[in-house]
Every structure is written in C-alpha cells, then in structure tokens.
Structure 1
Amino acid sequence: MDTTDMRSLTREARHERRVQVIRLRKAGQTYEQIAEQTGLSRTGVFNICSRHAAGGAPALKDAVGGRRTGEKRLLTAPQENTMRKFIQDKTPDQLKLPYALWTRAAVAQLIHERLGVKLAVRTIGKYLARWGFTPQKPMRKAYEQSPAAVKKWLEEDYPVIAAQAKSEGAEIHWGDETGLRSDDVRGRSYAPQGQTPVVRVNNKRHGLSVISTVTNKGVMRWKIFDGALNADILIDFMKRLVRDAGRKIYLILDNLKVHHSKPVKAWLAQNADYIAVFYLPSYSPELNPNEMANADLKQGVTKRAPARTKLQLVKATAGHLRSVQRQPERIKSYFEHEPVRYAA
C-alpha cells in the first residue's frame, strides 16, 4: 500500500492526522494497524507517538516555519519608519529626486541616497506592500498652492463659516464653472486588436459653459451660458440663487478674477443681507465639492453620441443637469470624496 507523504498535506491536515494516530494508539491498536488505517508508514506512526510521549499534545503541532518578523531584513525598523514617512509626506521632487511619482525605482534611489543601501526593485515592492502602500492614481495639486493656507482653511476658516451659517440659518453653496465641447468624447471603445476605434465628430466644434452650485443637503443650481464667465452672468446667477433659496446664501467660490471684480463686489455689498461670498485658498480646486459635479457632468455628456449642433449639446447638458437635480443622494455623494469630506 502506498503511504501518504505528510509534506504533501496542509498544516491543519498534518495536525489532524497526528491526533488520529494518538487516538488510535490510546485505543490499544498496534503501530502496524494504525499505519494501515491512516495511510502512514510504521516508522511515521512510531515517530508521532514518540513526539507525543515526549511533549504531549503541543508536540503534535508543526513548529512555526520561516524567519521571525524583522529578522535578516536589510533595513532596520527605524530606517523603515524614516523611509515610510518620507514617501507619505513628501513628493520625490521635494527630496531632489528626478521623479514625479513614488515608483519602486524612485523609492530604491531614495533608500540608496539616504541610507547607502541598494535594494532590488522586487525587494522594494515587498517593503512597500509591508508598509501598507499600494499603487494609486495621484491627485493633482498646483505647485503654487500654499499648504499653510489649505491647513488654515480646513482647521479655522471653514469651521467658522459653517458655524456662522448655522447661526444665521443660511444655506452653504459651493460654486464652480466648467466648459463642454461637442468634440470631447471620453472613455474606451472595444475594437478588434490592432484596429484603433474611430469616433466621428464634426469638424466645426461647438462649446458652452456652465456655472453651478451644490450643497451637502443634495441641492443643485445651474446656468448654461456662452463664452467665458463675466460679472453680469455671475450676478444674474447669484440673483437666481437668492430668489430660489428663500433664505440667506453662503456661496463659496475659487479665486477666479471675475469673482473679485468691482461690479460683483458692489452687488454683494448691496445684497449683504441675502448673500455672502467666501473664497477657497488659491490653487486648491480639490477642496471644492463642485469639482465632483463637473466631473459627473462631463462624464455624463461625453459618453453620449457627439453633438452635431450647438442645440444638441445644450439639450444633452441641460438634460443631465436636470436629472442630477432630481437625485439628492447623488449630489450628496460628491461630498464623500476624501478631499472634500470636511464639507459634508
């Protein structure tokens, strides 16, 4: 009879087989009888019984294999903590490395320059996985952005605005502008391998602009217009906001020049009882939940068949915006993204 090679079994199966051997031995069976029933060799059965006699039930378990945690690693624990903090808090260019992103090659060069230790790219991957790092699509931030200003906005400015809005019974709206073009088609298309898919668009392209606001209560307001935003369009949009809200509006905008124009400031001063405008830190679009609404709009419109006329583009845009307006939970979801969760 062929005997079972214990090495071919899982750790749990090996332990169960040893327990079975001891149980049969205690029932008075011989080594030969046990070997026949369990599929083991007589010598294997004898060795299991000897292990049990010497060490009891714990001796039936496999010894923990492999090296201990941290044993024979090329970096010490303090060195690992230092490298992990560098990668988490800094970008490669801030550390004078010729990389835009933290790739395995970039991490390898960082370790070599800072610690004098050369590690293979494959080894770097293991260290990164051990540290809990995964490859992710980066979020863009402007080089000109002031981290101190962002910190102040998150920790001081916005909490004050939110508290003040609550005390006045005001509604906080997050505003932004975006543009759409009839020849903007996004996404991927299936096609036979080696045959690039083709999208037919008009040679004469059409465009439009949209200004909109969203709230964390699931409210959206919008206006479609031609060309670039100017003071007259912005003032007209704010008039609509005030009229539709039925209470004071706290409007948060970015630092686009027109937002600070003299006509806009004059109108705001005359209507201070109905609306107040606050401004995000410069070069910080990721702090504005309305950026999610803009992305949703572009995704929704550009996945359709390309608009052949300006009217088709307007209808597609208005149709998407009206659909979103009827879905408060969808609008609230814009505030669930990590960079804007503070405004939820």
Structure 2
Amino acid sequence: MANYKQADYEALRRRCVELKQTGWKQADIARAFGLTPAWVSQTLKTFRQQGESGLTTGKRTGAPPRLMMEQLDQLTTELTKGAGHHGFSGQVWTRLRINQVIDKLFGVSYDPSQIGRLLKKVGWSRQKPARQARQQDPQAVANWQEERLPALKKSQR
C-alpha cells in the first residue's frame, strides 16, 4: 500500500466512493491509488453501511471500560485493607485474588492477564513477594537448623 498520512485517508476514502459511483471497478480504484483491493472493498462496504459518517477519520475506540475511575478508586481502597480482610489466607495479592474481589464488589470479571494493566492504570505496580516472611524469627530458624534438621536427616538414612 502507498505511504499515506492518516489525514489523507479520509479524502482517499471519499475519492474511492466517488470513483465507484461513476462506474470504476474496485480493482481499478485500488491500482490507481496504490491501495489493496481489500482496503477499497472495506471502504465501500463501510460507506454502504454507515454513509458519509463512515468515511470520516476518527480515533478508533475499543470496548468501553468495565470499571469507571470511581470504582477503581474503591478497588484500591479495598486492596489496601489486605488480602486477609477479604477472606484469603496470607497477605499476598495475586491476579486471581484481585479478580475475585472485583467480581464480588462490582459483578465484573476480567481475564487474569489483564489485572496487571488495570492496576497499572491506578498507579500500582507488580511486585514479587519477599522470599523470607517478614514475621520470621531468625533465632527460631537457627534453632530448627541446629536441632531439628539433623534429626530429620538421620531418620531418612
């Protein structure tokens, strides 16, 4: 396809429709402008379905958001209460857990792969939990390694 700027496409779409209305074939229109026949076909189909409004250049929007900003604010408030507050064991939030909270609060379910994108939108970042629990007692670990671990190793022999 030829290198057209985004602003040129609206005029190009209008010209394709004009030429088609004067009897040009789609293949000839595509060849004249260096376009693919599929592009011309799609342009003409859009014109038939939507009329003049289908030819205008506009930002293509995706699906509307399932949660409004106020709901996202409410979600972050709930998440700061901790996973235990919502009935989960431990305080680690996972995408699946967050999705369950969203479903419970708002009746909306996301694919777990999209939870990170949703949280990034409100300024949260993905973090890995520390390997060692903060509440772990170093003295108790040392005692266990000195007393209990050797006994376990001996009993395995």
So what's the TM-score if we normalise by structure 1? 0.24
Higher helix share: 2
Greater relative contact order (Cα 8 A, min sep 6): structure 1 or 2? 1
Higher strand share: 1
So what's the TM-score if we normalise by structure 2? 0.45
- Structure showing greater Rg: 1
